[in-house]
Amino acid sequence: MTDPDVIVVGGGIGGLGAAYALSRRGLAVRVLERAAAFGEVGAGIQLAPNCTRILDDYGLLDEAKSLGVLPEAMIMRDAVDGTELTRLDLRDLERRYGFPYLVIHRSDLHAMLLRACERAGVDLRTSQQVTACANTAGGASVTLADGRVEEARVVIVADGLHSVARKLIVDDEPVSSAYVAYRGTTPTASGRAAEVDLSEVVVYVGPRCHFVHYGLRGGELLNQVAVFESPKARAGEEDWGTPDELDAAFAGTCDFVRGGLPDMWRDRWWRMYDRDPVMTWVDGSIALLGDAAHPPLQYIAQGAIMAIEDGWVLGEQVARHLAGDGSVDWPAVLAAYQAVRPEHCRRVVSTSRAWGELWHLDGLARRQRNVLLRERDTYDYAFVDWLYGPTALDPSEEPPMFTPIPLSSARPDALTGTGG
């Protein structure tokens, strides 16, 4: 059995995206997935233009469109009084960035990438528990739970938030935000779901809680997410995030938000974690990718997108450093990856934390936020230009960050009558 050029540890969205990006450059890629079958847990996922641009490059955008929904607007509302705060016109957004905003079921996106990998000849293996990674004279190796060792020129580690190999580079732990997510999908053929406008992605932002809804699978399903700060999690108790906490957290929200809570799956919930950004992802011939490198909080919907971008950048750098005889200058590829991706993802992880704080304000700060959001022009893209444009391949291509607007700049005369 010949060694592959690349071993990818982890068969989630990031791992499969990287495997496809590298295999389409002619490399032999092996994916080692610890589960007994390839699959993805969760419900909906939002794909902004910086991701649909990559899917288009892969020849997968039409398939993704057929599996998802192309909403027309993204709207932020106040969860307490239900009033609209601001919106993005997603049709104009597509004109600006050249590619659409798409919402899709996580399992549909994952299955699409899996099919693409199968067509590309990726060696896909399940029940492969990787317990260690190491650099070797000729590249890198992985050790599996049964003691076997497999080698490749490069090992890409995409094994998620609780990555085994991350400890090679940094010995840190996930950071708990004390926030908990409940999810639920319901058919749109009847009931409350039939009355929801599926042309919109809507987030209701409230004190220490928020609620999101949008359509999936061509409008057949309504995806809803309820997120709140768990008092038990904040206090360090084990019994955190229970349904009674869910109901209590949203007790002060508007009728529409409270009306969605019975649709949540009440037998499972998710604690929200990220990690502090790290600026080194590469150790010799081993590189981190996706949540193993940069797990974010979910507030700007870029977690899976960053992972897909990581893989695309690796594939593009392979193309730039591919010799006529088919050999790859891997040190140059990994150096280019290291030079551009950590800083971009640091910005996303940090902005996600700040955005979460903004969403969950109460009291005067909430009223100030609402004033500033209502004054924003629908066609002002200052806050997303750095994010939704083309994925940088070189640090010089990374656009400047947006300039935050202080809450204190809200006009005092506008603070009355703002649902506070």
Active site residues: 214
Sign of CA dihedral 214, 269, 50, 406: positive
Quick one: which H or E segment has residue 288?
Answer: strand 286-288
Angle 384-388-391 from CA coordinates, rounded to 5° = 135
Strands 286-288 and 6-9: unpaired
Strands 200-206 and 209-216: antiparallel
Quick one: which H or E segment has residue 123?
Answer: strand 123-125
Residue labelled with tokens 């399940």: 126
Q: Amino acid identity, residue 226?
A: A
Contact criterion met (CB below 8 Å) for 211 and 293: no
Best CA proximity match to 114, nearest among 127, 126, 101, 132: 126
d(CA 232, CA 137): 49
d(CA 391, CA 50): 6
d(CA 361, CA 299): 14
Contact criterion met (CB below 8 Å) for 230 and 100: no
Q: Amino acid identity, residue 222?
A: L
